With several copies, the nearest count.
Chain A
Amino acid sequence: MSHVISYLEAIREAMRQAMRDDERVFLIGEDIATYGGVYKVTDGFLDEFGPRRVIDTPIAENAIIGAATGAALVGMRPIAEIQFADFIASGFDPLVNMTSTIHYRWGQPVPLVVRAPAGATWASAGPFHSQSPEAWFAQVPGLKVVMPATPADAKGLLTAAIRDPNPVIFLEQKYLYRRLKGEVPEGEHVVPLGVARIARAGTDATVIAYGTMAHKAELAAQLLADEDDIAIEVVDLRTIVPWDRAAVLASVAKTGRALVVYEAHRTAGFGAEICATIAEEAFAQLDAPVGRLAGLDTPVPAHPAMEAEYLPDEHKIAAALRELVAF
């Protein structure tokens, strides 16, 4: 049984089911209870689950992450919401130094999910409500990082994240929240972390992307199929840590051409890791250099004219793919 719901509703569904199934799961964050969160993701949760399981906190990202970590250590399964991914910077230290190292240092699991709306909106959210900070966390051993691109994955990956015995950074793509609807299984739905999705099969080139950019890559592939009769394979990573190297390498082995697309700043973005890996591991199979298309090395500007210049989109991806295929 499945139904068509939005990306946002899928997240809500995963959390609601987890909270119904497992009394250890609770929510903690700013304005998530009465207000239902700035994007209303937790709308109605206070009514259903009460103030002990949907906890509004003061403005304190460090303490939110620290406290969620402590609760996880004594058997709870907290889901912390950071209001915007940009503000994770204010709770950066506990995540990268404390939470991420506990299991390595003394063997205690920290089953914790940190949810945050991430990425640009194509609607002038500006430099502090548009960031994609996944590369910071990918560089930190001990954190898992998830960036779903579809409603079904949003539900399935969040369910897996909540059940995972490790801290998981779950970066929700706010651009997709209400814009993207899709078939989502109604009952229990788990998508394992670390398994990529072949969003579209193709033979001429591979696009590797995740989050909103996986969605855009699908649109670009459609454009190329329609307009150029080029068959693009789209690999949606789904999770950044762990990431599915095997799926990427298999696809590149097949197509011989790869374009990595991400929305974060180009320099030292996670896509560089993918490119470096492909370049090293698939050297002999490559018919063209691994291409990269990413956000600019500038803050994310507010004005739509500049924001559009900043962001990769289906047209830019299609153009890059045309070049790649023509190489």
Chain B
Amino acid sequence: MSLSNDDRYALYHYMRLSRAIEDGAWALAGQGRMVGRLYTGHGQEAIPVGCATALAADDVMAPMYRDMGAHLVRGMEPWEIFAQYMGKRGSSNAGKDSGLHMGDMKRGIIGMISVLPDSLPVAVGVALAFRLRDEARVAMTFFGEGSTSTGAWHEAVNMAAVLDVPLVMICENNGWALSTPAEREFRGATIAERASAYGIAGARVDGNDVEAVHRTAREAVERARSGGGPTLIECVTMRMRGHSIIDPAEYVPPEQLAAWAVRDPIDRLRERLVADGLWDDGREAAMLAEHKGIVDAAIDRAAAMEDPHPQDVYEGVFASDGQTTDTATSDGSTTTGAGA
């Protein structure tokens, strides 16, 4: 499972672009142009990117609100993300919900909700359906370490274990759940060690090493695909900004931030690429420029889109008959935008 140069470039690209988009969104929010609040994955980019790249096209993933990179890997376009952030009529949630709560079954993305970690039991069901239909498909889902304190988390992990479904569960242990440090969320030393108590495979990996994350995820995905059941992966990282854009996070010790700043996942991969003779300042500058262009164009395109109409609020509470997912094939479903 060694990574090709192209694989490594892709990992780098997705992480960098994630950050560029989130930086763009941060500025946008500062200008009061966002609908809803901004939560970012600054410093954690290696996890969604490293994991989502381990999936096949017809696998399904249920990301959380910091997983920008996972959306990009699954083919979400930057302008779609900004359209969502601005609550545009033609966006994924059509202005009805906000943030990275974007669902799109064509791309195998389950849209999350705010209640934590409600995508996890849903992902168990996705994986269960794959198993029941004998499809060699895998589901993957992401959650923070704080979310492991919830009952929903336990019920889902335990059910995944008992029903032996092809599911990869990614814990992004970024040290904090809002203002609560990990040691006040749980008393065990790690999340990964819980795996054996559930009777499933577990792993703990440096969440700021995208290649290590990717390898670990790939192993888990292969295990799941070949009937080996679920895996719980703990990716150890650090939340480098406040919980959301309005949180100055004064409760985080500056030393902790400093210690992690030097472990930035983007810098680390770049340094390796440079060391391997695969990257240089020229390429870096070109990528930054390219990404800036992408983000600027995306913002412009999204900004030009139509805003929701007040009357849109009445549409879509219920699906209508014709609209049903009438296929149990591997592409699963036809999707209708919430605004349709």
Contacts and interface: CB of A to CB of B under 8 A. Distances in A.
Interface in A93-128: 93-94, 97-98, 101-111, 124-128
Contacts of B310: 305-306, 308-309
B149 A303 contact: no
A129 B324 CA distance: 29
Given A105-B97, A127-B113, A75 B332 contact: yes
Contact of A102 (B111, B132, B313, B337): B111
A208 B178 CA distance: 39
A63 B118 contact: no
Contact of B149 (A58, A109, A309): A58
Contact of A34 (B96, B97, B251, B333): B251
Given A73-B110, A303-B308, A89 B129 contact: no
A93 B156 CA distance: 14
| Interface-central residue, A70, A102, A304, by most chain B CB under 10 Å | A70
A87 interface: yes
B307 interface: yes
A55 interface: yes
B333 A75 contact: yes
B317 A67 contact: no
Given A90-B150, A93-B115, A166-B318, A106 B104 contact: yes
B77 to A, nearest CB: 16
Contact of A70 (B123, B177, B309): B123
Contacts of B177: 58-59
Nearest to A301: B96
A55 B129 CA distance: 12
A58 B129 contact: no
For the residues of B in contact with A, the DSSP-based class is loop
Interface stretch (B44-52, B87-95, B228-236, B281-289): B87-95
A68 B125 contact: yes
B130 interface: yes
A72 B327 CA distance: 11
B319 A60 contact: no
Interface string B327-340: 11100110111111
Interface in A60-86: 60-76, 78, 84, 86
Interface string B143-167: 0001101111001101100110000
Nearest to A296: B313
A63 B103 contact: no
A198 interface: no
A127 B121 contact: no
A298 B337 contact: no
Contacts, number: 291
Contact of A309 (B97, B150, B311, B318): B311
B210 interface: no
Contacts of B36: 124-126, 302
A57 B327 contact: no
B322 to A, nearest CB: 9
Given A30-B180, A66-B156, A306-B308, A128 B113 contact: yes
A301 B125 contact: no
A52 interface: yes
A254 to B, nearest CB: 30
Given A298-B314, A301-B313, A126 B98 contact: yes
B323 interface: yes
Contacts of B87: 124, 302-303
B120 interface: yes
A291 interface: no
Contacts of B318: 103, 142, 144, 165-166
B128 interface: yes
Nearest to B247: A35
Given A104-B338, A302-B35, A90 B129 contact: no
A142 B319 CA distance: 9
Interface string B29-41: 0000001100000
Contact of A35 (B179, B312, B332): B179
B121 A303 contact: no
B60 interface: yes
Nearest to B151: A62
B124 A66 contact: yes
B225 interface: no
Interface string B122-139: 111111111010000001
A13 interface: no
B316 interface: yes
6 A-B pairs with the lowest CB-CB distances in the bound complex, closest first: A66-B121, A70-B125, A303-B95, A58-B149, A67-B125, A106-B103
5 contacts: A56-B184, A57-B159, A67-B159, A111-B324, A302-B98
Interface of B: 35-36, 60, 87, 92-93, 95-98, 101-105, 110-111, 113-116, 118-130, 132, 139, 146-147, 149-152, 155-156, 158-159, 162-163, 177-180, 184-186, 251, 307-314, 316-321, 323-325, 327-329, 332-333, 335-340
Interface of A: 23-24, 26, 30-31, 34-35, 38, 52-53, 55-76, 78, 84, 86-87, 89-90, 93-94, 97-98, 101-111, 124-129, 141-142, 144, 164-166, 296-299, 301-306, 308-310
